[in-house]
Structure 1
Amino acid sequence: MALANKLLLSQITGHIILLILSFCIWIPLRINLHEFCDHCLLFTTGKWREEDGMFDVNWASDGFCNFSFLTGIALSCISILQIIRFWVMKYADAEPSFLSLFIDVVLGIFMLAISILSAIFITLGFIVWCDGMTERFPSCETSAGQNVIRGDTEKIDTSNFYMEMGTAQFGAWVSFATSVGLAVIALLKLINNHQVRNIKVSMYLERQRLVNQGQSDGRSTPPLASGASSDSDNNK
């Protein structure tokens, strides 16, 4: 199997994995936002009240959750489009253009960037929330399901936040690792395509040189043969 086919199959496999991982990002985040009444848990802080033992929460910006949520959606859309595109290329046995390979590299870098940012937001934001929870509970996990938010008139459901954020965190970090692999594969395909094109150009130029040299030798040979024949006749 040629190197190009191996790289193409690797890209298809990578995007299938990335599609599954993207679901692990945006689905838990969407559920968590719904359960927290559209409040973002990430980077949320607060203080425990001594009077009633409730958590006086200061909600963080929704942008942290929204960015990670949109990252998962973007990874899903890109992966679906790339899977379809690569399958069509495989069965059509079409050779990708330099522009399409360059776009693959740009997409790989883009996915890498947004996935690492989302992973950092989810990880650090969840740590900040858990730091507040562990001031009262022995672990962040044991605080799940406890009605601890002061003035909770929206009936916030905290029972599943630990599993949801853990799943989103896992999906974001593994998506980053997968995006790195896809970016490297896309770059290798671009380099391989460039090398093949250079070889073809070199072979074409060498062939033209040999053809021109042969034509030049063909034009110079007859006069020599004619001159030699004349000398032979004179000797006779």
Structure 2
Amino acid sequence: MCFRGRCLLFSEGQWQEEDGQLLVSWASRFYCNYVIFVGVLLFIVSSVQLYRLSSAVLRDADASFLGAFVEAAGCAALCTACLAAAAAVTLGLITWCRNIMERFPSCKIADGLDIDKKDQISTNGFYVEMGTAQFGAWGAFATCVGLTVFSTLKLCRYHQLENIRVSMYRERQRLVNEAAAGAPSPERCSTPPVAVAAHN
């Protein structure tokens, strides 16, 4: 597939009766650039997480509450970004295929056909490539949803452990204070001087 720097997503066009070509009104490259950006971002984040978790396993250390919170928030943000990218690929491809199906029974049939000589685009393999991109985008979204759920559960577990630690500390302080208040003072335990003199 070669669209010479143009973005297929959300592009529309009109079929010309005289030559049978598709006069395309190309959409903004923002849609394609955004999908590529999300893919690169996922690769970078995955690499960083792989290194961080591997280091934590080797050091036999666990993340802190703040680290778990940042991880959960990051997963939620990536989940939103992946959803937007998947929706852009799906809806953009539907818009393009709607134009193709005005002349062909299915969008797949236009794969490899010379439908736009003016812009010198090549449609070879576009249907498979866009289908792969669509599958990858929704797969990334599903993965991010799972990671968001697990990271949220981890955050809740850390929160419960933190509450238990605080409760144990407060209970220990209460017991120490009660023990200190209930213990007899040295003045109470000593024998009065008058009583000692009378005894002698």
| Fold match (TM-score > 0.5) | yes
Q: Secondary structure at the match of 1:209?
A: helix
Within 1, Cα distance between the matches of 2:186 and 2:165? 31
CA-to-aligned-CA distance 1:171-196 (integer Å, 9 cap, x gap): 11111111111112111111111110
Within 1, Cα distance between the matches of 2:60 and 2:15? 64
Q: What percent identity do the matched residue pairs reach?
A: 43
- Moved >3 Å (runs of 4+): 220-227
Tell me which of 40, 43, 57 is aligned to 2:10: 43
Which has more helix, going by share of residues? 1
Corresponding position of 2:22 = 55
Within 1, Cα distance between the matches of 2:109 and 2:191? 105
Q: Given the superposition, is the C-alpha separation of residues 160 and 198 from structure 1 closer, same or farther in structure 2, using an over 3 Å criterion?
A: same
Corresponding position of 1:97 = 64
Within 2, Cα distance between the matches of 1:225 and 1:162? 97
Q: Secondary structure at the match of 1:176?
A: helix
Tell me which of 203, 211, 215 is aligned to 2:176: 211
Within 1, Cα distance between the matches of 2:82 and 2:186? 69
In the alignment, structure 1 residue 109 sits paired with structure 2 residue 76: yes
Superposition TM-score, scaled by structure 2 size: 0.89
Residue 79 of structure 1, CA deviation: 1.0
Tell me which of 23, 33, 36 is aligned to 1:69: 36
In the alignment, structure 1 residue 138 sits paired with structure 2 residue 88: no
- Name which structure has the greater RCO, CA cutoff 8 Å, separation 6+: 1
Q: Secondary structure at the match of 2:27?
A: coil
Corresponding position of 2:126 = 161
Give the gaps of 5 or more residues in structure 2: none
Residue 221 of structure 1, CA deviation: 9.6
Corresponding position of 2:49 = 82
Indicate if the aligned counterparts of 1:56 and 1:150 stay in contact, CA closer than 8 A: no
CA-to-aligned-CA distance 1:132-175 (integer Å, 9 cap, x gap): 111111110111000011413x4x22111001100110111111
Summarize the alignment of residues 175-190 of structure 1 with structure 2, pairs less than 5 Å apart: 175-190=140-155
For 2:99, the aligned partner's letter is G
Within 2, Cα distance between the matches of 1:186 and 1:122? 27
How big is the alpha-carbon RMSD for the aligned residues of Structure 1 and Structure 2? 2.1
Residue 212 of structure 1, CA deviation: 2.3
CA-to-aligned-CA distance 1:28-72 (integer Å, 9 cap, x gap): xxxx5xx11111000111111111111111111111100001110
How many positions carry a matched residue from both structures?
Answer: 195
Within 2, Cα distance between the matches of 1:222 and 1:180? 67
Indicate if the aligned counterparts of 1:57 and 1:150 stay in contact, CA closer than 8 A: no
Give the gaps of 5 or more residues in structure 1: 1-31
Which has more strand, going by share of residues? 2
Corresponding position of 1:170 = 135
Answer with 1 or 2: which has the greater Rg.
2
Within 1, Cα distance between the matches of 2:79 and 2:129? 22
